[in-house]
Structure 1
Amino acid sequence: MDLQLTQQQTLKLAMTQELRQAITMLQFNAQELTEFLYEQTLENPLVEIETPHTDWNQIKTTKIQNENTKQGIDLYSRKAISLQDDLLSQLQEMKLDKSEHRIVKYLILNLDKNGFLIGADDELASELSVTQEDLNNGLQLLQSFEPDGIGARTVQECLIIQLKRLSKPTQVAEMIIEDYFDLFVNKNWKEMAKKLKVSLPELQSEIDLILTLQPRPGLNYEQDEVNYVAPDLYVERIGDEFVVSLNDKILPRLKLLNDYEDYMAKGNKSEVSSYLKEKNQQVGWLMKSLEERKSTMIEVMNFIVNKQRTFFEKGSAHLRTLTLREAAEELDIHESTVSRTCKNKFVQTPFGLFEMKNFFSQGVVTGNDEDISSTSVQVFIRELVNKENKEKPLSDQKIVELLGEEHGIEISRRTVAKYRDILRIPSSSKRKRFG
Structure 2
Amino acid sequence: MKLQTGLTQEQNLQLNITQELLQAISLLQYTSLELASFLEEKAEENPLLNVDIHFFRTTDPHAKKWNRYRNYEKSGPPVADIEQIPFPGSCSLADYLKTQSLLLPLDGEERKALDYFILNLDGNGYLSVDVEEACRQIGVSKEAGERALAALQRLDPPGVGARSLQECLLLQLERSPGDNALAITVIKDYFQPFVNRKWREISRKLNVSAAEIQKVMDGVQKLNPKPGAAFLQERPHYIIPDFIVKYNDGKWEIEIAEANLIDVKLNRDYVEVFRGNPDPAMKAYFREKMQQYRWLQKSLAQRRETMMKIIGELVKLQEKFFLGEKNQLRPMTMKELAERAGVHESTVSRVVKNKYVRAPGGTFALKDLFSAKLAKNREEISAQQIKSELRAIIDREDKRRPLSDQEIAEIFQKKGISVSRRTIAKYREQIGIPSSNKRRRFGAE
Please state whether the residue corresponding to 1:116 is helix, strand or coil.
Answer: coil
Q: Which runs of 5+ in 2 are unaligned?
A: 62-80
1:17 aligns to 2:19 (yes or no): yes
> Which residue of 420, 423, 427 maps to 2:431?
423
CA contact (8 A) 2:36 2:53 kept: no
CA distance in 1, matches of 2:318, 2:115: 58
Structure 1 unpaired stretches of 5+: 60-71
Deviates more, 1:82-91 or 1:117-126: 82-91
Q: Indicate conservation of the 8 Å contact 1:348/1:354, yes or no.
A: yes
Contact 1:345/1:356, CA 8 A, preserved across alignment: yes
Contact 1:393 1:432 (C-alpha < 8 Å) held by counterparts: yes
**Counterparts in 2 of 1:404 and 1:239: CA distance versus 1, 3 Å:** farther
User: Structure 2 matches for 1:197-346, cutoff 5 A?
Assistant: 197-222=207-232, 224-248=234-258, 251-266=261-276, 268-312=278-322, 315-346=325-356
Q: Distance in 1 between matches of 2:51 and 2:88?
A: 28
Q: Deviations over 1:171-220 (max 9, x none)?
A: 11101101121232122333333333334444333322211111122333
Whole-Å separation in 2 of the counterparts to 1:427 and 1:97:
52
Aligned to 2:206: 196
1:400 corresponds in structure 2 to 409
Q: Is residue 331–residue 380 contact of structure 2 (8 Å, CA) maintained in 1?
A: yes
Deviations for 1:275-328, whole angstroms, at most 9, x for unmatched residues? 333333322222222222211111111122223334335633222322222233
Check conservation: 2:88, 2:231, Cα contact below 8 A.
Answer: no
Using the alignment, how far apart are the partners of 2:115 and 2:383 within structure 1?
A: 51
**TM-score, scaled relative to structure 1:** 0.86
Deviation at 1:136, TM superposition (A): 0.7
Asked if structure 1 preserves the Cα contact closer than 8 Å seen for 2:159 and 2:171, the reply is: yes
How many pairs align? 421
The Cα of 1:92 is off from its aligned counterpart by 5.8
Alpha-carbon distance between aligned partners in 2 of 1:135 and 1:393, rounded to the nearest angstrom = 49
CA distance in 2: counterparts of 1:366 and 1:183, whole angstroms: 42
- AA aligned to 2:202 is M
What CA distance in whole angstroms lies between the structure 2 residues aligned with 1:79 and 1:270?
60
The answer as to whether partners of 1:364 and 1:411 remain within 8 angstroms in 2 is: yes
Give 1:56's aligned residue: 58
Normalised by the length of structure 2, the TM-score is: 0.84
2:396 to 372, 387, 391: 387
The CA deviation string for residues 104-151 of structure 1, in whole angstroms up to 9 with x for no partner, is 222223233332222333322222222211111121122123221112
Letter in 1 for 2:171: I
Supply the RMSD in Å over aligned alpha carbons: 2.9
Deviates more, 1:255-264 or 1:245-254: 245-254
Q: 2 CA distance for matches of 1:18 and 1:92? A: 65
- Given that residues 52 and 249 in structure 1 are in contact (C-alpha distance below 8 angstroms), is that contact kept between their aligned partners in structure 2? no
* Structure 1 SS opposite 2:21: helix
Report 1 or 2 for greater relative contact order, CA contacts < 8 Å, sequence distance ≥ 6. 1
Amino acid at match of 2:293: V
Identity %: 38
Deviation of 1:354 after TM superposition, in Å, equals 1.3
Code of the residue aligned with 1:124 in structure 2: it is A
